[in-house]
């Protein structure tokens, strides 16, 4: 069994940035489970499946093979043999991922892959249900959050730097909607595990958050 660190929290809390940095410091493998949902979302979008068509998603996901490979230490997502990592951050993909993540067959499909990765190696895995459902016996559990405003501002800055034409109020609304959808779905909702340490990064620097989480890891 590998040493397992679970990081859960809402969209935009900084999970992936922080997890990647802690992984590097500690020599763990960073597993981004959101990218797996995004991988399946690409599959559904390419087949013209709409966000409400859950039955079609259930059927279609049988033929979708999502695999993860590590190339130069970075996680790459393959969909039926094709590397689709470059498409994962598109806005439409994120929205579809949030929809398909509420479909039980989709979650089941990815759960096995996630558990296998954690069994074989020391991992820091981020997502929404890692501490509550995927790795309930993780050695360290963190619930990383930040206020909606802070998360919207971070996202706004990130997109602006990429030269995109964005609107802060719209981003804030989008984050609110996604939080609502991720936290109220019936299956594996976003929720702090009872034994998770709560870290609110609203007023912390990235380095402070990394230091706080790295200090919890006894390996």
Residues that bind ligand DC (CB under 6 A): 11, 33-34, 37-38, 94, 97-98, 101, 127-130, 178, 182
Output 162 or 218, the one with its CB closest to ligand DC. 162
Q: Report, in Å, the least distance between residue 215 CB and ligand DC.
A: 24
> Residue 12 burial by CB count (10 A; 0-12/13-18/19+): exposed, middle or buried?
buried
Beta bridge partners of 5: 124, 140
Output 32 or 215, the one with its CB closest to ligand DC. 32
Output 157 or 218, the one with its CB closest to ligand DC. 157
Output 101 or 171, the one with its CB closest to ligand DC. 101
Output 79 or 215, the one with its CB closest to ligand DC. 79
Q: Report, in Å, the least distance between residue 114 CB and ligand DC.
A: 8
Q: Report, in Å, the least distance between residue 96 CB and ligand DC.
A: 9
Q: Report, in Å, the least distance between residue 65 CB and ligand DC.
A: 18
Q: Report, in Å, the least distance between residue 21 CB and ligand DC.
A: 16
CA 211, distance to chain mean position in Å, is 21
151 vs 74: CA distance, rounded Å = 24
Output 128 or 141, the one with its CB closest to ligand DC. 128
Q: Report, in Å, the least distance between residue 151 CB and ligand DC.
A: 11
Output 186 or 218, the one with its CB closest to ligand DC. 186
Q: What is the DSSP string of the chain?
A: ---EEEEE--TTSSHHHHHHHHHHHHTPEEEEHHHHHHHHHHHHHHTT--TT-HHHHHHHGGG--EEEEEETTEEEEEETTEE-GGGTT-HHHHHHHHHHTT-HHHHHHHHHHHHHHHHHS-EEEEESSIIIII-TT-SEEEEEE--HHHHHHHHHHHHHHTT----HHHHHHHHHHHHHHHHH-SSS-S---TTPEEEE-TT--HHHHHHHHHHH---
Q: Report, in Å, the least distance between residue 101 CB and ligand DC.
A: 3
């Amino acid at each position: 069994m590998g040493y397992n660190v679970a990081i859960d929290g809402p969209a935009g809390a900084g999970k992936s940035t922080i997890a990647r940095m802690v992984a590097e410091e500690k020599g763990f493998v960073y597993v981004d489970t959101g990218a797996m949902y995004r991988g399946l979302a690409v599959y559904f979008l390419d087949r013209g499946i709409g966000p409400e068509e859950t039955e079609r998603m259930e059927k279609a996901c049988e033929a979708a093979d999502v695999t993860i490979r590590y190339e130069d230490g970075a996680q790459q997502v393959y969909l039926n043999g094709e590397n689709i990592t470059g498409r994962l951050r598109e806005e439409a993909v994120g929205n579809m991922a949030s929809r398909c993540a509420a479909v039980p067959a989709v979650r089941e499909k990815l759960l096995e892959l996630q558990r296998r990765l954690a069994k074989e190696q020391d991992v820091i895995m981020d997502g929404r249900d890692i501490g509550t459902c995927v790795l309930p016996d993780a050695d360290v559990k963190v619930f990383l959050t930040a206020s909606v405003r802070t998360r919207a501002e971070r996202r706004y800055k990130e997109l602006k730097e990429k030269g995109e034409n964005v609107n802060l109020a719209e981003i804030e609304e989008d984050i609110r909607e996604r939080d609502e959808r991720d936290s109220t779905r019936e299956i594996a909702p976003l929720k702090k595990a009872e034994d998770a340490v709560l870290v609110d990064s609203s007023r912390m620097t990235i380095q402070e958050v990394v230091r706080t989480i790295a200090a919890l890891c006894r390996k």
